[in-house]
A and B are shown apart, each in its own frame.
Chain A
Amino acid sequence: MPTKIEKDSISGQDTTGHEWDGLKELNTPLPKWWLYTLYATCVWAVVWCVLYPSVPGISGYFPGVLGASTRVQVTNDVKALAAQRAVTMDKLTATPIAEVRQDPQLMAVATTAGRIAFANNCQPCHGPSGEGRPGYPALAGDAWIWGGKLADLQQTITYGIRSGHPDARVSQMPRFGADGILKPEEIAQVADYVMTLYGKGTAGADMAKGRAIYGENCAACHGDNGEGKRDVGAPALKGAVHLYGDSRETVRAQIANPRQGVMPNWNQRLDEATIKSLALYVHSLGGGE
């Protein structure tokens, strides 16, 4: 309990009356500006509580008289953005893909949209810059299984590969080993021959045998000289770029029991303008034809 309130001689201020071992506490009032700022914030808080969502209830909350909601705001923003983009996106949908490149402004929009769509949808498999990895084709390179023209790319992205869509690109390599079409030693021989097409041939292997097996079983799709056939989706065997790798083991495994990669048909998720943008972007990575 305050006992003795007295006037401090130096500051002219009252003390609180508390005393600890001779130390007395001054009862200095708060500065005016501080106090009024406090009052102002109190008023502000009350007004805020009335205007905006504030008081929680059992199963809901008081939404405030302005009806403000950040969720509604975001939805509206997204809608407004779509409306704002609609003109360009509609134009992109209407323009044939080959002609988009003639319109620099449309092209700029398409490559930007394409880059973002690529990062959102394609990057997990094909890599952030389309560099690919075993089983997932490199899109930055120039080795295309189904074709690297704009129309080819658009087709592939739209319907996918072995996606189950009726228009999907489908190719089926026979399971030469698993289905017993070739004997293990024949598979080894043809694999050795394929390695020479890869430019990694080994001396001493029985090439004539392998070559003959290749001619009977593989050339129909992969071409007499391993140049591949795009209309049936048979990859070129000649050259330096190979989907599943270029070791002899990989080649043998791929002949015996081939892996068949799947790419989704993106028309289930993306609109036409986005798919076009993606095709244009992928084409621009460096290997487009």
Chain B
Amino acid sequence: MSRLAKPRKPSAGEEKMSEAPLYADRVRVYPRAVHGPARTFKWAVLVICLAVYYALPWIRWDRGPGRASQAVLLDLQNERFYFFNLEFWPQDIYYLTGALILGAVSLFLVTSLAGRVWCGYACPQTVWTDLFMWVEQRIEGDRNARMRRDQGPASFDKAWRKVAKHAVWLGVAFWTGGAWIMYYADAPTVTRAFWTGQASSAVYGFAFLFTATTYVLAGWAREQVCTYMCPWPRFQAAMLDEQSFIVTYQGWRGEPRGHGKRDAAAEKKLGDCVDCRACVNVCPTGIDIRDGVQLECINCGLCVDACNEIMVRTGQPKWLITWDTLARQKARAEGRREPIRLLRARTVIYVAALLLAGTVMGVALATRAHIELSVQHDRAPLFVKVRDGALRNGYTVKIVNKTHEAADFALSLQGLEAAGMAVAEENDARMPILTLTAEADSVGTFRVLVFGQPARLVDGSQDITFTLRNAATGEQTSYRSVFMGPGGRAGR
């Protein structure tokens, strides 16, 4: 499981110190091109992921005049997140928590069933690295050509190919960074602004940032990100067990490996592995799957494709490297057969957690409130005595109207004797119920003055409750607050 890094061979000078070096040198990986079902599937996922990423911001969605018309938009300026027909306010941030929980548990479930397929196929790091490797292959040729050129002397051929490769990489990276900002602003508008130099510095900044990170992570860092930077490989072991389907070298069949004749007359009985190292050469993380399950393996299955090609060529049965569970492999080595076990404690728990979180999210989404009320008592003065002897408290009342029409709301008050309310600077008369109008899809803020003559104040304050009711729909909500006066700690 752990074959973290090949320790560097100590150089002559270091020999004396005879200590293991602190850092392993990076061994450059030159993956060879390969063909087969795993590779085809990986291309398909790549195309779909990239298509979604680049095209999504351009999908339009009609939400009525004057409103954002982009299907998926995180509008930070106006504090809205649009997702097709859903619309989220900053107060709805807990849906993000829910979505993250769903995402995490799905990842756990998939990993416990089929290993790190996320890493192998869908992770942005994998997708962009694959894309960059494809570009590299077009320009610099396959593994052997690349290795030869890198080791060879400087030449015009080497120079133009390197320059071209990095230019294309930067182009792709820029396109990636450019697409990113479109999730934060109306895509056509921000594109026009970007190219006419009118976009904000934040837009240019983020475009640059994501261009740079894409270029560095997918072009230069590659498997180093998966091995050293990403936390996922560190705790994948907690999700995998011996029943998970993972890319496995069937040692019982392949060993002893070796070149040479495989007929009965051969003096040494050899397994199916011809030790051609094709599986190592295609591996994007540069490891040897024949060493067993490893931290670096992203379960991409490219070694499966590579070995199948060899098996066909040597006239042996395919799938020497295959997808299987460790338990079944162990049984096969002992000459037994074992059934596939999908139902295990952990998969059942993950499915249950998934269903629970999904249901909670669904119900919360379906019964989402369209009004919200928040009331804040003035910090100073806590209360004011008015001429007729009543006490006056000031409150900032915020009404969140999530409907798409302006609406009248009735604000009433419970729990205060001789209560009357007025909107500051609007009405002078004290009224038992205030009618407040909040515009469509916005927050209405009102300064409400409450007059009252509480019979007894405990510690200078009394609990009261504001109730808000949408006059048209009848939807109702309330908010607890306090009314303050002299006496106690609050007022002297």
Q: Is the CB of B394 within 8 A of A286?
A: yes
With A and B bound together, what is the CA distance between A130 and B394 in angstroms?
A: 13
The answer to whether residues A141 and B386 also contact, given A284-B425, A286-B449 and a CB cut-off of 8 A, is: yes
**Contact of A10 with B by CB under 8 A:** yes
Q: Is the CB of B392 within 8 A of A240?
A: no
Q: Mark A9-34, 1 if CB is under 8 A from B, else 0.
A: 01010000000000000000000000
With A and B bound together, what is the CA distance between A138 and B384 in angstroms?
A: 9
**Contact of B388 with A by CB under 8 A:** yes
Q: Is the CB of B389 within 8 A of A240?
A: yes
Partner of B387, one of A127, A129, A241, A286: A241
Give the distance to chain B from A4, nearest Cβ to Cβ, in Å. Answer: 23
**Contact of A186 with B by CB under 8 A:** no
With A and B bound together, what is the CA distance between A141 and B394 in angstroms?
A: 11
Partner of B380, one of A129, A141, A287: A129
**Contact of B16 with A by CB under 8 A:** yes
The answer to whether residues A142 and B386 also contact, given A12-B13, A129-B381 and a CB cut-off of 8 A, is: yes
Q: Is the CB of B387 within 8 A of A236?
A: yes
**Contact of B17 with A by CB under 8 A:** yes
Q: Is the CB of B380 within 8 A of A241?
A: no
**A-B contacts at CB below 8 angstroms, number:** 52
Number of interface residues of B (CB under 8 A): 19
Q: Is the CB of B381 within 8 A of A287?
A: no
| Residue of chain B at shortest CB distance from A141 | B384
| Residue of chain B at shortest CB distance from A142 | B386
Which of A201-251 touch B at CB < 8 Å?
Answer: 236, 239-241
Give the distance to chain B from A10, nearest Cβ to Cβ, in Å. Answer: 7
Which of A107-155 touch B at CB < 8 Å?
Answer: 127-131, 138, 140-143
With A and B bound together, what is the CA distance between A12 and B16 in angstroms?
A: 12
Q: Mark B28-53, 1 if CB is under 8 A from A, else 0.
A: 00000000000000000000000000
With A and B bound together, what is the CA distance between A141 and B388 in angstroms?
A: 11
**Contact of B276 with A by CB under 8 A:** no
With A and B bound together, what is the CA distance between A131 and B392 in angstroms?
A: 12
**Contact of B385 with A by CB under 8 A:** yes
Residues of B within 8 A of A288 (CB): 425
The answer to whether residues A140 and B381 also contact, given A12-B13, A286-B392, A286-B394 and a CB cut-off of 8 A, is: yes
**Contact of B424 with A by CB under 8 A:** yes
Number of interface residues of A (CB under 8 A): 24
The answer to whether residues A128 and B386 also contact, given A10-B17, A12-B13 and a CB cut-off of 8 A, is: no
The residue among B13, B388, B428 with the most chain A CB atoms within 10 A of its own CB is B388
With A and B bound together, what is the CA distance between A287 and B392 in angstroms?
A: 10
Q: Is the CB of A131 within 8 A of B425?
A: no
With A and B bound together, what is the CA distance between A241 and B388 in angstroms?
A: 8
Q: Mark B358-395, 1 if CB is under 8 A from A, else 0.
A: 00000000000000000000101100111111001010
Partner of A140, one of B384, B387, B389: B384
Q: Is the CB of A131 within 8 A of B17?
A: no
| Residue of chain A at shortest CB distance from B391 | A240
Residues of B within 8 A of A283 (CB): 425
Residues of B within 8 A of A286 (CB): 384, 392, 394, 424, 449
Q: Is the CB of A199 within 8 A of B389?
A: yes
Give the distance to chain B from A260, nearest Cβ to Cβ, in Å. Answer: 22
Q: Mark B382-426, 1 if CB is under 8 A from A, else 0.
A: 001111110010100000000000000000000000000000110
Give the distance to chain B from A280, nearest Cβ to Cβ, in Å. Answer: 9
Which of B428-443 touch A at CB < 8 Å?
Answer: 428
Residues of A within 8 A of B394 (CB): 286
Give the distance to chain B from A226, nearest Cβ to Cβ, in Å. Answer: 12
Give the distance to chain A from B443, nearest Cβ to Cβ, in Å. Answer: 16
Residues of B within 8 A of A127 (CB): 381
Q: Is the CB of A239 within 8 A of B389?
A: yes
Which of A268-289 touch B at CB < 8 Å?
Answer: 283-284, 286-289
A-B pairs, top 7 by smallest CB distance, nearest first, are A240-B389, A131-B381, A239-B387, A129-B380, A140-B384, A141-B384, A142-B386
Chain A residues in the interface with B (C-beta under 8 A): 10, 12, 101, 127-131, 138, 140-143, 199, 236, 239-241, 283-284, 286-289
Cross-chain pairs A/B with CB under 8 angstroms, 21 sampled: A10-B17, A12-B13, A129-B378, A131-B380, A131-B381, A140-B381, A140-B384, A141-B386, A141-B387, A236-B387, A239-B387, A240-B387, A240-B389, A241-B385, A284-B424, A284-B425, A284-B447, A286-B384, A286-B392, A286-B424, A287-B386
Chain B residues in the interface with A (C-beta under 8 A): 13, 16-17, 378, 380-381, 384-389, 392, 394, 424-425, 428, 447, 449
